[in-house]
Structure 1
Amino acid sequence: MGKRRKVTHNARPAQKSGGGGQKPQGAATATTAIKPKPQKQKQPQQQHDEPTIPFAPEDKILLVGDGDLSFAASLVEHHYCADVTATVLEKTLEELVEKYPHAPENIAKIEAEDSRVLYGVDATKMAPFVDRRGKGKEKDAVGVMDRIIFNFPHVGGKSTDVNRQVRYNQELLVEFFKHAMPSLAPGGSIIVTLFEGEPYTLWNIRDLARHTGLQVQRSFKFQASAYPGYHHARTLGVVKSKAGETGGGWKGEDRAARSYIFVRKDDEARPRPGSSKKRSRVRDDDESSDDD
């Protein structure tokens, strides 16, 4: 990934003024030239909408419930991530393609760069991704994933009752956090992205994480445009019209969303390249640490 270059404007145009001409005899001798007031040069405004990318190309990344795999493909193709494991709930390629017909194109991009796709991985039951160390009773399992990302978790249309939907999704998140932590490498982070507003704010994701031994390091606005080729995939699959046509209609990538970075309590997360010490320091659940 290339470094952004900061372009600044600080040159001012030279301003010259003067008056001349012969003075008629007996005329007043006022020769002071009227100089225009120099205008203040406007400083470039800080780009508050610059996207936050919560991982580095060299990170070992686990994507949970990656839907049509377009997010994983973007990480590999456009963010040059070298070690991505993308998982889906569907048990077979055929089942995945039935829900997301364009998934094979994304799989080809992922596997072409030596990353991988795993099928039949349930976020609430997944086995840990670990490095086994030692022998016998001294064997110790250490998590290997630097970043574990779950974008837009949702149980699907289990119920039309809001309270039940909230409870089902809270249960999903709690079990995900419990099963993700053993896979997390020392200093790693878990990143969850949700839409803003209700009913998602009713899930109280910060409290759910806290009760499972995690704390919020920070949160930031999720910008889908930072991931070329990415399209929000619904849990139920591609929505088709009565005529059987796909496309158009509701687009999740156009909705306001927010990502939350969680780290183990009392754990020091490794800073991302270019991040300041202030941002890399683990904070408690403090709204002031959020980026707008």
Structure 2
Amino acid sequence: MYINPAWRILTIGDGDLSFSHSLLKNYRPHVLTATIFDEYSSLSAKYGATHFQQLAAQGCKVLTGFDVTNNQTWGELGKYQYDAVFFQFPLLSAFNSAEDFKQQCLNVSVNTLHRRLLRTYLLNCFDYFLDSHGAQLAFITSKDVKPYRQWHIEQSLTLHSDIHYLGSMPFDIEKFPGYKIRNVDRDKYVKDTQGITYVFSRRISSELEDKISKPNYLGEGYCPYCRVGPFYTEQDKQHHLASKKHQKMAHFEQQWLDDVAQFEQ
């Protein structure tokens, strides 16, 4: 992951604030605002308030009880202040009960619910958080394993928008000493696995051009949903399209297309 110290940075849903703390300590961005989904009391009970206090002591604004999908929780966070926004290893909050799960997944899968979260994050980044005269960059870092890669982050989130997927770069947690990836609503940290940072902008180019790339599976002759190919014969392609793996991903994609269309009516 590339960090320009001249950037004004906003972090979204930073669990125990260890990413923001490491970012501030090791990269010293021009401005840093950190947000967490938990209220302060919950943060303190689950993780302790050390990072909160250290960030505040260094002049970093920290907003608690912040839900990127609900502008009623944004409080004093103004419009168009930042050059870059970071959402690290996003996950939905845990379901409160089996009934809550049934209600939220009444007509859609958890896959679609996560895509809703990430699409809303991107739309709000460019409508409310990013300075149109700044670097105009939104980052999503996620694990490169199932079920996260099944969200099809590269192409599905920007449908019917003017937001561009610019490319991705590896996320190396070793470059952020002290950072622990937290599970949502849990007090334990997640085992480090390979992460990918996806980069989005309303511009078609950025200062990251020599640091990011697009994978081959987004090119012609591949199946971008399943990340396989290239297909050298039509028979190979049809064999893949008939496979259970592809049928599952195609179901996710169709459900997502229907969901986006429904919300845009």
Q: Normalising by structure 2, what TM-score?
A: 0.68
Residue of structure 2 in register with 1:25 after alignment = none
User: Deviation of residue 229 (structure 1)?
Assistant: 0.9
Residue of structure 1 in register with 2:90 after alignment = 153
User: Deviation of residue 156 (structure 1)?
Assistant: 3.4
Retained in 2: the 8 A contact 1:62–1:84?
A: yes
User: Deviation of residue 268 (structure 1)?
Assistant: 4.1
Q: Does 1:178 align with 2:126?
A: no
Q: Find the aligned partners of 1:288 and 1:208 in 2 and give their Cα distance.
A: 17
Question: CA offsets per residue over residues 101-160 of structure 1, 9 Å max, x none?
Answer: 3xx1111221222111001211112359546xxxxxxxxxxx121010000111033359
Q: 1:280 to 1:194 in 2, by over 3 A?
A: closer
Q: Does 1:204 align with 2:152?
A: yes
Retained in 2: the 8 A contact 1:193–1:257?
A: yes
Provide the secondary structure at the position in 2 that maps to 1:78. helix
Q: Find the aligned partners of 1:251 and 1:233 in 2 and give their Cα distance.
A: 6
Flag the structure with higher helix content: 2
Compute the RMSD of aligned alpha carbons.
2.7
Gaps of 5+ in 1: 1-51, 132-142, 240-249, 273-277
Q: Max radius of gyration: which structure?
A: 1
Retained in 2: the 8 A contact 1:219–1:289?
A: no
Provide the secondary structure at the position in 1 that maps to 2:56. helix
Deviant stretches of 4+, over 4 Å: 127-131
Q: Does 1:94 align with 2:94?
A: no
User: Deviation of residue 207 (structure 1)?
Assistant: 2.2
Gaps of 5+ in 2: 96-100, 219-265
Q: 1:260 corresponds to which letter in structure 2?
A: Y
Residue in structure 2 matching 1:287, options 199, 215, 232? 215
Provide the secondary structure at the position in 1 that maps to 2:65. coil
Most deviating of 152-161 and 165-174: 152-161
Most deviating of 108-117 and 192-201: 108-117
Q: Find the aligned partners of 2:217 and 2:63 in 1 and give their Cα distance.
A: 35
Provide the secondary structure at the position in 1 that maps to 2:69. coil
User: Deviation of residue 289 (structure 1)?
Assistant: 11
Q: 1:251 corresponds to which letter in structure 2?
A: V
Provide the secondary structure at the position in 1 that maps to 2:83. strand
Retained in 1: the 8 A contact 2:168–2:197?
A: yes
Residue of structure 2 in register with 1:238 after alignment = 187
Flag the structure with higher strand content: 1
Percent identity for Structure 1 against Structure 2? 22
